[in-house]
Chain A
Amino acid sequence: MNLRATAGFIPLPTTPSEPAISVSQAAQTTKLAAPDAAAVPLTALVVRAQGGDRPAFAALVRELQEPLFFAVNRFTQNPDDARDIVQRTFLKAWTRMADLESPERFRSWLFSIGLNLARNHLRDSGKRRGDSVDDVVLAAQGADAVTQISDRQRRAWLRAALAKLPDKQRECVTLRIDAELGFREIGELAGCSEGSARVNFHHGMRRLRELMAEEEPP
Protein backbone atom coordinates (compact mmCIF):
# COMPACT_ATOMS: atom_id res chain seq x y z
CA MET A 1 0.00 0.00 0.00
CA ASN A 2 1.35 3.34 -0.97
CA LEU A 3 -0.59 5.22 1.59
CA ARG A 4 1.58 6.40 4.42
CA ALA A 5 -0.02 6.12 7.82
CA THR A 6 0.86 8.91 10.18
CA ALA A 7 1.27 8.60 13.89
CA GLY A 8 -1.23 11.35 14.53
CA PHE A 9 -3.56 13.27 12.37
CA ILE A 10 -1.85 16.30 10.96
CA PRO A 11 -4.23 18.35 8.87
CA LEU A 12 -2.88 18.75 5.39
CA PRO A 13 -2.57 22.34 4.33
CA THR A 14 -5.29 23.55 2.03
CA THR A 15 -2.62 25.34 0.08
CA PRO A 16 0.84 24.14 -0.74
CA SER A 17 3.67 25.46 1.31
CA GLU A 18 5.09 28.87 0.59
CA PRO A 19 7.87 29.05 -1.97
CA ALA A 20 11.41 28.32 -1.01
CA ILE A 21 13.57 29.88 -3.64
CA SER A 22 17.23 30.47 -3.24
CA VAL A 23 18.74 33.89 -3.67
CA SER A 24 21.02 32.57 -6.36
CA GLN A 25 18.04 31.36 -8.36
CA ALA A 26 16.42 34.76 -8.49
CA ALA A 27 19.68 36.58 -9.12
CA GLN A 28 20.42 34.23 -11.96
CA THR A 29 17.40 35.50 -13.80
CA THR A 30 17.32 39.15 -12.96
CA LYS A 31 20.94 40.19 -12.54
CA LEU A 32 19.59 42.45 -9.83
CA ALA A 33 19.46 42.21 -6.10
CA ALA A 34 17.10 39.32 -5.59
CA PRO A 35 14.86 39.01 -2.59
CA ASP A 36 15.71 36.52 0.08
CA ALA A 37 12.95 34.36 -1.26
CA ALA A 38 13.60 31.55 1.17
CA ALA A 39 12.43 33.86 3.91
CA VAL A 40 9.85 35.75 1.91
CA PRO A 41 6.38 34.22 1.67
CA LEU A 42 4.63 34.04 -1.63
CA THR A 43 2.17 36.79 -0.79
CA ALA A 44 4.97 39.21 0.07
CA LEU A 45 6.62 38.47 -3.25
CA VAL A 46 3.35 39.17 -5.01
CA VAL A 47 2.96 42.52 -3.27
CA ARG A 48 6.50 43.47 -4.22
CA ALA A 49 5.91 42.37 -7.79
CA GLN A 50 2.81 44.52 -7.89
CA GLY A 51 5.08 47.43 -7.11
CA GLY A 52 7.18 46.65 -10.17
CA ASP A 53 9.82 44.58 -8.36
CA ARG A 54 11.21 42.38 -11.13
CA PRO A 55 13.40 40.20 -8.90
CA ALA A 56 10.34 39.39 -6.83
CA PHE A 57 8.43 38.48 -9.95
CA ALA A 58 11.37 36.36 -11.10
CA ALA A 59 11.12 34.45 -7.83
CA LEU A 60 7.43 33.88 -8.50
CA VAL A 61 8.23 32.61 -11.97
CA ARG A 62 10.77 30.13 -10.66
CA GLU A 63 8.37 28.92 -8.02
CA LEU A 64 5.28 28.47 -10.14
CA GLN A 65 6.40 27.84 -13.70
CA GLU A 66 6.82 24.12 -13.18
CA PRO A 67 3.41 23.25 -11.72
CA LEU A 68 1.79 25.61 -14.20
CA PHE A 69 3.60 23.88 -17.03
CA PHE A 70 2.40 20.45 -15.92
CA ALA A 71 -1.18 21.64 -15.57
CA VAL A 72 -1.17 23.30 -18.99
CA ASN A 73 0.59 20.35 -20.56
CA ARG A 74 -2.32 18.15 -19.51
CA PHE A 75 -4.49 20.28 -21.72
CA THR A 76 -2.23 20.74 -24.70
CA GLN A 77 -0.47 17.35 -24.61
CA ASN A 78 2.34 19.22 -26.30
CA PRO A 79 5.34 20.52 -24.30
CA ASP A 80 6.17 23.21 -26.84
CA ASP A 81 2.65 24.58 -26.78
CA ALA A 82 2.60 24.34 -23.00
CA ARG A 83 5.87 26.25 -22.77
CA ASP A 84 4.55 29.01 -24.97
CA ILE A 85 1.36 29.25 -22.94
CA VAL A 86 3.27 29.39 -19.66
CA GLN A 87 5.41 32.22 -20.99
CA ARG A 88 2.34 34.13 -22.16
CA THR A 89 0.67 33.49 -18.83
CA PHE A 90 3.45 35.13 -16.85
CA LEU A 91 3.66 38.00 -19.30
CA LYS A 92 -0.06 38.61 -18.93
CA ALA A 93 0.21 38.31 -15.17
CA TRP A 94 3.00 40.91 -15.09
CA THR A 95 1.03 43.39 -17.14
CA ARG A 96 -2.11 42.82 -15.07
CA MET A 97 -0.69 42.61 -11.60
CA ALA A 98 -2.68 45.70 -10.71
CA ASP A 99 -5.90 43.81 -11.37
CA LEU A 100 -5.12 41.34 -8.61
CA GLU A 101 -6.79 42.72 -5.52
CA SER A 102 -5.97 39.81 -3.23
CA PRO A 103 -2.25 38.95 -3.36
CA GLU A 104 -2.89 35.76 -1.44
CA ARG A 105 -4.86 34.49 -4.41
CA PHE A 106 -2.05 35.00 -6.87
CA ARG A 107 -1.53 31.30 -7.43
CA SER A 108 -5.11 30.52 -8.39
CA TRP A 109 -5.29 33.76 -10.38
CA LEU A 110 -2.17 32.81 -12.31
CA PHE A 111 -3.45 29.32 -13.02
CA SER A 112 -6.79 30.68 -14.17
CA ILE A 113 -4.95 32.80 -16.73
CA GLY A 114 -2.90 29.83 -17.87
CA LEU A 115 -5.82 27.45 -18.14
CA ASN A 116 -7.87 29.99 -20.05
CA LEU A 117 -5.02 30.43 -22.49
CA ALA A 118 -4.75 26.66 -22.79
CA ARG A 119 -8.47 26.35 -23.50
CA ASN A 120 -8.26 29.09 -26.09
CA HIS A 121 -5.29 27.37 -27.65
CA LEU A 122 -7.19 24.11 -27.95
CA ARG A 123 -10.22 25.87 -29.34
CA ASP A 124 -8.21 27.85 -31.89
CA SER A 125 -6.14 24.91 -32.99
CA GLY A 126 -9.17 22.65 -33.16
CA LYS A 127 -7.27 19.93 -31.38
CA ARG A 128 -8.74 17.24 -29.28
CA ARG A 129 -7.61 17.03 -25.73
CA GLY A 130 -6.09 13.66 -26.37
CA ASP A 131 -6.57 10.37 -28.02
CA SER A 132 -9.60 8.36 -27.05
CA VAL A 133 -9.24 5.39 -24.83
CA ASP A 134 -10.44 3.20 -27.64
CA ASP A 135 -7.76 4.51 -29.99
CA VAL A 136 -5.04 3.84 -27.51
CA VAL A 137 -6.34 0.39 -26.65
CA LEU A 138 -6.57 -0.54 -30.31
CA ALA A 139 -3.03 0.65 -30.86
CA ALA A 140 -1.87 -1.40 -27.91
CA GLN A 141 -3.66 -4.52 -29.08
CA GLY A 142 -2.09 -4.11 -32.45
CA ALA A 143 1.33 -4.32 -30.85
CA ASP A 144 1.45 -8.10 -30.88
CA ALA A 145 0.19 -9.04 -27.42
CA VAL A 146 -1.81 -7.11 -24.91
CA THR A 147 0.52 -8.27 -22.18
CA GLN A 148 3.32 -6.31 -23.82
CA ILE A 149 1.73 -2.99 -23.27
CA SER A 150 4.57 -0.83 -22.23
CA ASP A 151 4.62 1.74 -19.51
CA ARG A 152 4.53 4.38 -22.15
CA GLN A 153 1.38 2.91 -23.60
CA ARG A 154 -0.15 2.69 -20.16
CA ARG A 155 0.58 6.35 -19.62
CA ALA A 156 -0.94 7.26 -22.94
CA TRP A 157 -3.95 5.22 -22.04
CA LEU A 158 -4.19 6.93 -18.68
CA ARG A 159 -4.06 10.32 -20.36
CA ALA A 160 -6.81 9.28 -22.68
CA ALA A 161 -8.90 8.18 -19.73
CA LEU A 162 -8.26 11.53 -18.07
CA ALA A 163 -9.43 13.25 -21.22
CA LYS A 164 -12.74 11.45 -20.96
CA LEU A 165 -13.57 12.92 -17.59
CA PRO A 166 -16.09 15.72 -17.27
CA ASP A 167 -14.33 19.08 -17.41
CA LYS A 168 -14.69 19.96 -13.77
CA GLN A 169 -13.53 16.56 -12.54
CA ARG A 170 -10.56 16.60 -14.89
CA GLU A 171 -9.59 20.11 -13.76
CA CYS A 172 -9.76 19.15 -10.12
CA VAL A 173 -7.67 16.02 -10.65
CA THR A 174 -5.10 17.82 -12.78
CA LEU A 175 -4.77 20.82 -10.52
CA ARG A 176 -4.38 18.64 -7.45
CA ILE A 177 -2.07 15.96 -8.82
CA ASP A 178 -0.09 17.82 -11.48
CA ALA A 179 -0.04 21.35 -10.08
CA GLU A 180 -0.36 20.32 -6.44
CA LEU A 181 -2.75 23.13 -5.68
CA GLY A 182 -4.78 23.07 -2.50
CA PHE A 183 -8.49 22.35 -2.69
CA ARG A 184 -9.35 25.90 -1.68
CA GLU A 185 -7.42 27.23 -4.65
CA ILE A 186 -8.89 24.58 -6.90
CA GLY A 187 -12.33 25.67 -5.78
CA GLU A 188 -11.50 29.26 -6.65
CA LEU A 189 -10.31 28.20 -10.07
CA ALA A 190 -13.23 25.91 -10.75
CA GLY A 191 -15.76 28.37 -9.42
CA CYS A 192 -16.97 26.16 -6.61
CA SER A 193 -16.44 25.63 -2.91
CA GLU A 194 -13.51 23.79 -1.40
CA GLY A 195 -15.86 20.95 -0.50
CA SER A 196 -17.14 20.69 -4.05
CA ALA A 197 -13.56 20.65 -5.30
CA ARG A 198 -12.84 17.71 -3.02
CA VAL A 199 -15.91 15.84 -4.21
CA ASN A 200 -15.12 16.51 -7.86
CA PHE A 201 -11.56 15.34 -7.31
CA HIS A 202 -12.76 12.15 -5.66
CA HIS A 203 -15.32 11.42 -8.35
CA GLY A 204 -12.72 12.07 -11.03
CA MET A 205 -10.26 9.67 -9.43
CA ARG A 206 -12.92 7.03 -9.02
CA ARG A 207 -13.99 7.43 -12.63
CA LEU A 208 -10.39 7.04 -13.76
CA ARG A 209 -10.12 3.84 -11.77
CA GLU A 210 -13.32 2.55 -13.34
CA LEU A 211 -12.05 3.35 -16.81
CA MET A 212 -8.82 1.58 -16.05
CA ALA A 213 -10.68 -1.46 -14.76
CA GLU A 214 -12.95 -1.54 -17.80
CA GLU A 215 -10.38 -1.00 -20.50
CA GLU A 216 -7.05 -2.22 -19.26
CA PRO A 217 -6.26 -5.72 -20.38
CA PRO A 218 -5.56 -8.28 -17.69
Chain B
Amino acid sequence: MNELYPGLPPELENDWVDAIAAGEVSTALAQFLDANPAARAELEALDEVAVALRRDRDDAHPGAHFFESLSDDIMASLPTPSDGPAPLLGRKVGAGTRASSSWWSAAWSWFGKRPTLAWAAVMAVALVVILAWPRTVDSPAGGIAETAPDVGEAVVPDDDVDEVAVAARENWLAAALPHGLSRDEVHELRQLASEIEISGLDADDNSDDLDDDWGFGVGAGAVEQMGNAELDSALNALEAPR
Protein backbone atom coordinates (compact mmCIF):
# COMPACT_ATOMS: atom_id res chain seq x y z
CA MET B 1 0.00 0.00 0.00
CA ASN B 2 2.95 2.33 -0.33
CA GLU B 3 1.26 3.60 -3.48
CA LEU B 4 -1.18 5.63 -1.39
CA TYR B 5 1.08 8.59 -1.10
CA PRO B 6 4.76 9.05 -1.86
CA GLY B 7 6.84 8.97 1.26
CA LEU B 8 4.04 7.73 3.48
CA PRO B 9 5.52 5.28 6.01
CA PRO B 10 3.97 1.80 5.72
CA GLU B 11 2.89 1.89 9.36
CA LEU B 12 0.75 4.95 8.62
CA GLU B 13 -1.03 3.56 5.58
CA ASN B 14 -4.04 2.33 7.54
CA ASP B 15 -4.17 5.64 9.42
CA TRP B 16 -4.14 7.46 6.08
CA VAL B 17 -7.11 5.52 4.70
CA ASP B 18 -9.01 5.69 7.98
CA ALA B 19 -8.49 9.45 8.04
CA ILE B 20 -10.28 9.67 4.69
CA ALA B 21 -12.97 7.18 5.60
CA ALA B 22 -13.75 8.39 9.11
CA GLY B 23 -12.24 11.86 9.24
CA GLU B 24 -10.05 11.14 12.24
CA VAL B 25 -6.31 11.60 12.23
CA SER B 26 -4.04 9.70 14.55
CA THR B 27 -1.26 11.49 16.39
CA ALA B 28 1.39 9.73 14.35
CA LEU B 29 -0.26 10.70 11.10
CA ALA B 30 -0.73 14.26 12.31
CA GLN B 31 2.98 14.49 12.95
CA PHE B 32 3.69 13.22 9.46
CA LEU B 33 1.27 15.76 7.98
CA ASP B 34 2.90 18.56 9.94
CA ALA B 35 6.19 17.69 8.28
CA ASN B 36 4.63 17.23 4.82
CA PRO B 37 2.30 20.07 3.79
CA ALA B 38 1.73 18.53 0.38
CA ALA B 39 0.51 15.33 2.00
CA ARG B 40 -1.80 17.35 4.23
CA ALA B 41 -3.24 19.13 1.18
CA GLU B 42 -3.79 15.79 -0.54
CA LEU B 43 -5.53 14.34 2.50
CA GLU B 44 -7.72 17.42 2.88
CA ALA B 45 -8.77 17.18 -0.77
CA LEU B 46 -9.71 13.54 -0.33
CA ASP B 47 -11.57 14.39 2.86
CA GLU B 48 -13.61 16.98 0.98
CA VAL B 49 -14.75 14.30 -1.42
CA ALA B 50 -15.78 12.09 1.49
CA VAL B 51 -17.66 14.97 3.10
CA ALA B 52 -19.42 15.70 -0.19
CA LEU B 53 -20.46 12.08 -0.52
CA ARG B 54 -21.80 11.98 3.04
CA ARG B 55 -23.69 15.21 2.51
CA ASP B 56 -25.20 13.80 -0.64
CA ARG B 57 -26.26 10.69 1.25
CA ASP B 58 -27.74 12.69 4.11
CA ASP B 59 -29.57 15.04 1.78
CA ALA B 60 -31.14 12.02 0.13
CA HIS B 61 -32.40 10.75 3.47
CA PRO B 62 -36.09 10.05 2.97
CA GLY B 63 -36.98 10.70 6.60
CA ALA B 64 -37.62 8.64 9.70
CA HIS B 65 -41.18 7.81 8.71
CA PHE B 66 -39.90 6.21 5.54
CA PHE B 67 -37.83 3.71 7.46
CA GLU B 68 -40.52 3.06 10.06
CA SER B 69 -42.87 2.19 7.26
CA LEU B 70 -40.23 0.13 5.53
CA SER B 71 -39.45 -1.98 8.58
CA ASP B 72 -43.17 -2.53 9.17
CA ASP B 73 -43.61 -3.65 5.59
CA ILE B 74 -40.60 -5.94 5.82
CA MET B 75 -41.84 -7.65 8.97
CA ALA B 76 -45.35 -7.95 7.57
CA SER B 77 -44.02 -9.61 4.44
CA LEU B 78 -42.11 -12.32 6.29
CA PRO B 79 -43.73 -15.72 6.11
CA THR B 80 -45.13 -16.92 9.40
CA PRO B 81 -44.73 -20.49 10.63
CA SER B 82 -48.26 -21.21 9.43
CA ASP B 83 -47.35 -19.97 5.96
CA GLY B 84 -44.56 -22.44 5.59
CA PRO B 85 -41.28 -23.53 7.04
CA ALA B 86 -39.56 -20.79 8.94
CA PRO B 87 -35.81 -20.75 9.38
CA LEU B 88 -36.42 -23.03 12.33
CA LEU B 89 -36.39 -25.99 9.99
CA GLY B 90 -32.99 -25.25 8.63
CA ARG B 91 -31.41 -23.67 11.64
CA LYS B 92 -28.18 -24.76 13.15
CA VAL B 93 -28.66 -27.57 15.57
CA GLY B 94 -25.23 -27.44 17.01
CA ALA B 95 -21.76 -26.09 16.53
CA GLY B 96 -20.69 -26.77 13.00
CA THR B 97 -23.80 -28.75 12.20
CA ARG B 98 -26.93 -27.87 10.43
CA ALA B 99 -30.31 -29.45 10.01
CA SER B 100 -30.79 -31.08 6.65
CA SER B 101 -33.96 -29.24 5.72
CA SER B 102 -32.46 -26.23 3.98
CA TRP B 103 -33.56 -27.81 0.70
CA TRP B 104 -37.12 -27.65 1.96
CA SER B 105 -36.77 -24.00 2.89
CA ALA B 106 -35.41 -23.27 -0.55
CA ALA B 107 -38.20 -25.28 -2.17
CA TRP B 108 -40.81 -23.46 -0.15
CA SER B 109 -39.24 -20.15 -1.01
CA TRP B 110 -39.34 -21.08 -4.69
CA PHE B 111 -42.96 -22.16 -4.29
CA GLY B 112 -43.85 -18.77 -2.86
CA LYS B 113 -42.19 -16.90 -5.67
CA ARG B 114 -43.52 -18.98 -8.52
CA PRO B 115 -46.92 -20.22 -7.40
CA THR B 116 -48.15 -20.90 -10.91
CA LEU B 117 -45.24 -23.15 -11.79
CA ALA B 118 -45.39 -24.78 -8.39
CA TRP B 119 -49.06 -25.60 -8.68
CA ALA B 120 -48.50 -26.91 -12.19
CA ALA B 121 -45.85 -29.24 -10.80
CA VAL B 122 -48.20 -30.41 -8.05
CA MET B 123 -50.97 -31.07 -10.56
CA ALA B 124 -48.59 -33.02 -12.80
CA VAL B 125 -47.56 -35.22 -9.90
CA ALA B 126 -51.18 -35.77 -8.92
CA LEU B 127 -52.04 -36.77 -12.49
CA VAL B 128 -49.23 -39.30 -12.59
CA VAL B 129 -50.42 -40.81 -9.31
CA ILE B 130 -53.99 -41.05 -10.56
CA LEU B 131 -52.91 -42.76 -13.77
CA ALA B 132 -50.68 -45.20 -11.95
CA TRP B 133 -53.14 -46.02 -9.18
CA PRO B 134 -55.38 -48.62 -10.95
CA ARG B 135 -52.34 -50.66 -11.98
CA THR B 136 -51.16 -50.67 -8.46
CA VAL B 137 -54.48 -51.97 -7.18
CA ASP B 138 -54.83 -54.67 -9.84
CA SER B 139 -51.31 -55.91 -9.52
CA PRO B 140 -51.35 -59.66 -8.74
CA ALA B 141 -48.79 -59.14 -6.07
CA GLY B 142 -50.81 -56.32 -4.53
CA GLY B 143 -48.17 -53.74 -5.27
CA ILE B 144 -46.79 -51.73 -8.12
CA ALA B 145 -46.46 -54.03 -11.10
CA GLU B 146 -42.96 -52.95 -12.02
CA THR B 147 -41.65 -53.72 -8.58
CA ALA B 148 -43.69 -56.78 -7.83
CA PRO B 149 -41.71 -59.97 -7.17
CA ASP B 150 -41.78 -62.75 -9.75
CA VAL B 151 -44.31 -65.19 -8.30
CA GLY B 152 -43.89 -67.76 -11.08
CA GLU B 153 -46.69 -69.94 -12.45
CA ALA B 154 -47.48 -71.98 -9.34
CA VAL B 155 -50.07 -69.58 -8.02
CA VAL B 156 -52.37 -72.48 -7.11
CA PRO B 157 -51.19 -75.75 -5.54
CA ASP B 158 -51.11 -78.70 -7.91
CA ASP B 159 -53.84 -80.53 -5.98
CA ASP B 160 -56.17 -77.57 -6.39
CA VAL B 161 -55.37 -77.46 -10.10
CA ASP B 162 -56.45 -81.04 -10.42
CA GLU B 163 -59.72 -80.35 -8.66
CA VAL B 164 -60.43 -77.40 -10.88
CA ALA B 165 -59.60 -79.40 -13.96
CA VAL B 166 -61.82 -82.31 -12.96
CA ALA B 167 -64.73 -80.04 -12.17
CA ALA B 168 -64.31 -78.28 -15.49
CA ARG B 169 -64.22 -81.52 -17.40
CA GLU B 170 -67.30 -82.80 -15.68
CA ASN B 171 -69.17 -79.59 -16.28
CA TRP B 172 -68.27 -79.42 -19.93
CA LEU B 173 -68.97 -83.05 -20.56
CA ALA B 174 -72.20 -82.96 -18.64
CA ALA B 175 -73.25 -80.04 -20.79
CA ALA B 176 -72.44 -82.03 -23.90
CA LEU B 177 -74.27 -85.21 -22.93
CA PRO B 178 -77.78 -84.21 -23.98
CA HIS B 179 -76.49 -83.75 -27.51
CA GLY B 180 -75.76 -87.45 -27.93
CA LEU B 181 -72.08 -87.25 -28.63
CA SER B 182 -70.15 -90.36 -29.55
CA ARG B 183 -67.50 -91.69 -27.20
CA ASP B 184 -64.71 -90.37 -29.39
CA GLU B 185 -66.35 -86.98 -29.59
CA VAL B 186 -66.79 -86.97 -25.86
CA HIS B 187 -63.14 -87.76 -25.40
CA GLU B 188 -62.14 -85.01 -27.78
CA LEU B 189 -64.41 -82.48 -26.13
CA ARG B 190 -63.18 -83.55 -22.73
CA GLN B 191 -59.59 -83.04 -23.84
CA LEU B 192 -60.35 -79.64 -25.29
CA ALA B 193 -62.22 -78.53 -22.18
CA SER B 194 -59.37 -79.69 -20.07
CA GLU B 195 -56.85 -77.72 -22.09
CA ILE B 196 -58.97 -74.63 -21.95
CA GLU B 197 -59.43 -74.80 -18.23
CA ILE B 198 -55.88 -75.71 -17.36
CA SER B 199 -54.41 -73.01 -19.64
CA GLY B 200 -56.56 -70.43 -17.93
CA LEU B 201 -58.40 -69.35 -21.05
CA ASP B 202 -61.86 -67.97 -20.67
CA ALA B 203 -64.20 -70.75 -21.62
CA ASP B 204 -66.95 -68.33 -22.54
CA ASP B 205 -64.69 -66.65 -25.06
CA ASN B 206 -64.08 -70.02 -26.74
CA SER B 207 -67.65 -71.15 -26.70
CA ASP B 208 -68.21 -69.72 -30.17
CA ASP B 209 -65.35 -71.85 -31.49
CA LEU B 210 -66.89 -74.91 -29.92
CA ASP B 211 -70.25 -74.02 -31.39
CA ASP B 212 -68.65 -73.86 -34.82
CA ASP B 213 -66.85 -77.15 -34.37
CA TRP B 214 -69.63 -79.10 -32.72
CA GLY B 215 -72.79 -77.37 -33.81
CA PHE B 216 -74.24 -76.91 -30.33
CA GLY B 217 -73.90 -74.69 -27.33
CA VAL B 218 -71.72 -75.91 -24.55
CA GLY B 219 -71.96 -73.01 -22.14
CA ALA B 220 -71.50 -73.70 -18.49
CA GLY B 221 -75.07 -72.54 -17.96
CA ALA B 222 -76.19 -75.85 -19.39
CA VAL B 223 -75.04 -77.57 -16.26
CA GLU B 224 -77.12 -75.29 -14.11
CA GLN B 225 -80.16 -76.04 -16.24
CA MET B 226 -79.81 -79.75 -15.63
CA GLY B 227 -81.59 -81.30 -12.72
CA ASN B 228 -79.64 -83.13 -10.04
CA ALA B 229 -80.80 -86.45 -11.28
CA GLU B 230 -79.78 -85.70 -14.85
CA LEU B 231 -76.37 -84.53 -13.72
CA ASP B 232 -75.82 -87.60 -11.59
CA SER B 233 -76.88 -89.80 -14.43
CA ALA B 234 -74.55 -88.06 -16.83
CA LEU B 235 -71.64 -88.28 -14.44
CA ASN B 236 -72.30 -91.96 -13.86
CA ALA B 237 -72.35 -92.48 -17.59
CA LEU B 238 -69.06 -90.62 -17.91
CA GLU B 239 -67.41 -92.87 -15.39
CA ALA B 240 -67.53 -95.75 -17.82
CA PRO B 241 -65.04 -94.37 -20.43
CA ARG B 242 -62.74 -92.88 -17.73
Residue A57 at the B interface, CB < 8 A? yes
Residues of B within 8 Å of A, CB-based: how many?
A: 68
A206 pairs with B74, CB closer than 8 A:
no
Q: List 7 A-B contacts (CB under 8 A).
A: A3-B47, A5-B25, A5-B27, A50-B87, A52-B81, A95-B108, A158-B53
Docked CA distance A69–B63 (Å): 12
- Are A52 and B74 neighbours in the complex by a CB distance under 8 Å? no
Q: Which of B1-30 contact A (CB under 8 A)?
A: 1, 3-4, 13-30
Pairwise interchain contact A155-B46, C-beta atoms closer than 8 A:
no
Interface residues of B in 98-135 (CB under 8 A from A): 98-99, 101-102, 105-106, 108-109
Nearest CB in chain B: distance from A116 CB, A? 15
Decide yes or no: A5 and B56 within 8 Å by CB, A205-B49, A212-B49 being known contacts: no
- Which of B89-97, B157-165, B196-204, B230-238 lines the interface with chain A? B89-97
**Complex Cα–Cα for A17 and B158 (A):** 87
Instruction: Judge whether B195 is part of the interface by a CB distance below 8 angstroms.
Output: no
Q: Is the CB of B27 within 8 A of A8?
A: yes
A127 at the interface (CB under 8 A from B): no
Distance in angstroms from A168 CB to nearest chain B CB is 15
A101 touches B75 (CB 8 A): no
Known pairs A62-B71, A79-B62 / 5 extra A-B pairs, C-beta < 8 Å = A2-B48, A52-B87, A61-B71, A177-B50, A205-B20
Which one of A37-45, A83-91, A117-125, A139-147 contacts B?
Answer: A83-91
What separation, in Å, do the CA atoms of A70 and B20 have in the docked complex?
Answer: 19
Quick one: which of A42-88 are within 8 Å of B by CB?
Answer: 49-52, 54, 57-58, 61-62, 65-66, 69-70, 73, 79, 83, 86-87
Inter-chain CA distance A115–B24, complex, in Å, is 28
Q: Is residue A106 within 8 Å, beta carbon to beta carbon, of the partner chain?
A: no
A79-B60, A195-B1, A198-B17 given; A178·B53 CB < 8 A:
yes
Contact with B along A1-30 (1 / 0, CB 8 A): 111111111101000000000000000111
* Residue contact B60 to A91, C-beta cutoff 8 Å: no
A177 in contact with B54 (CB, 8 Å): yes
Q: Is A54's CB under 8 angstroms from B17's CB?
A: no
The answer to whether the Cβ of B73 comes within 8 Å of any Cβ in the partner chain is yes
A208 within 8 A of B: yes
Structural contact, A91 and B92, CB atoms closer than 8 A: no
In the assembled complex, the Cα of A38 lies from the Cα of B74 at a distance in Å of 21
CB distance from A127 to the nearest CB of B (A): 17
| With contact pairs A2-B44, A73-B60, A98-B92 given, residues A61 and B26 touching in the complex (Cβ less than 8 Å) | no
Q: How far is the CA of A146 from the CA of B1 in the complex (A)?
A: 38
Which of chain A's residues has its CB closest to B53's CB? A177
A196 to B86, CA, bound (A): 38
Interface status of B140 (Cβ within 8 A of chain A): no
Q: Which residue of A lies closest to B22 (CB)?
A: A12
Give complex CA distance A18, B49 in Å: 27
Q: Check A91–B57 contact: CB distance below 8 A.
A: no
Contact between B47 and A1 (Cβ–Cβ < 8 Å)? yes
CA distance A209 to B53 in the complex (A): 11
Does the CB pair A87–B87 fall under 8 Å?
A: no
- Residue pair B56, A66 in contact (C-beta under 8 Å): no
When chains A and B are docked, how far (Å) is the Cα of A49 from the Cα of B92? 11
Whether A50 touches B91, Cβ cut-off 8 Å, given contacts A5-B27, A9-B15, A69-B67, is yes
With a 10 A CB-CB cut-off, give which of A91, A95, A155, A199 has the most chain B CB atoms.
A95
Contact (Cβ within 8 A) B14 A6: no
Asked if B156 CB lies within 8 Å of chain A CBs, one says: no
Assess whether B70 is in contact with A52, with CB atoms less than 8 Å apart. no
Provide the bound-state CA to CA distance between A90 and B75, in Å: 9
